[in-house]
Amino acid sequence: MGVRLIRRCLVWVRNLLLFLFLSSILAVVVYKFVPVYYTPLMLVRQVEQWQADKPVKIRHQWVPLEKIAQPLVQAVVASEDNLFLEHSGFDFKQIEKARAEAKAGKRVRGASTISQQTAKNVFLFPVKSYLRKGIEAYFTLLIEWIWGKERIMEVYLNSIEMGRGLFGAEAVAEAHFKKPAYKLTRNEAALIAATLPNPRRFNSAKPSAYMLKRQRQILSLMDKLIQIKMGYDPGVNSKKGSGKKRKKWRADVLGQSCTWTVREVIYNKE
């Protein structure tokens, strides 16, 4: 009797894990083509508003990547993940730095890449635990493999929290700058990127002195990112006398419907 019960439990666990595994792959495949209109974090924010007896309001409007200002792509890469096109989902150097700082008792820096943040925002609730981190890593690998960089950036800029009740570039552009996302200027893009570490504390419509300082830093990083990487762009001539083979980016162009690519935007000035 006991052995039979154990076997049944093992079969049940096996079937459950298989179901979760196949469901996760199906969800990632579906979201490669279908816009992400709602995320777990949006639900959490609505519940928080309801518990605080505040009007339950979430602003979010999905727009294709080509309808988002190119400087915003540059700004988030420069400020959040400057190796976005090079890594396969994880920045191991930043992870090691974060671990070293934690051991030294220093303030722990964020080491999550844009890919990790996207996986967390779309598929998981914002619960701090090692289990959630493990599942986040799993989904990060899946979206890197199935989506590619172009789609990851598109989903990221449409699902990330960018202000109180504001999710995605279109929502924050309309609410804070009274314009669609494709009309955002370089300065506005850098200001939005400055809010991302804590979008409910920082307000791009009413920037503090710290935010304006951070905006200037991000604008500088945007220029440096372009200048440093231009030498590796296949479309740019290398230095004279240099016989070194140009670096080949691992991020291939996947978004054929887009009039520009993430790589072109990041490494080429307008």
pLDDT (tens digit per residue) in 228-256: 554 434 333 333 433 333 333 233 322 23
What is the reported pLDDT for 252? 31
pLDDT (tens digit per residue) in 147-180: 999 999 999 999 999 999 999 999 999 999 999 9
Domain ranges of the chain: 27-235+256-267
Pairing of β 161-163 and β 59-60: unpaired
In CATH, what class is 27-235+256-267?
Answer: mainly alpha
Q: Which amino acid is at 261?
A: T
Mean residue pLDDT across the chain: 83
What is the reported pLDDT for 40? 95
pLDDT of 265 above 70: no
What is the reported pLDDT for 173? 97
What is the reported pLDDT for 237? 35
| C-alpha dist (Å) from residue 138 to 25, 70, 90, 183, 196 | 10, 29, 11, 35, 23
pLDDT of 128 above 70: yes
pLDDT (tens digit per residue) in 11-43: 899 989 999 999 999 999 999 999 999 999 999
pLDDT of 63 above 80: yes
Best CA proximity match to 91, nearest among 155, 31, 144: 144
Average pLDDT score over residue span 42-66 = 90
- What is the pTM (predicted TM-score) of this model? 0.82
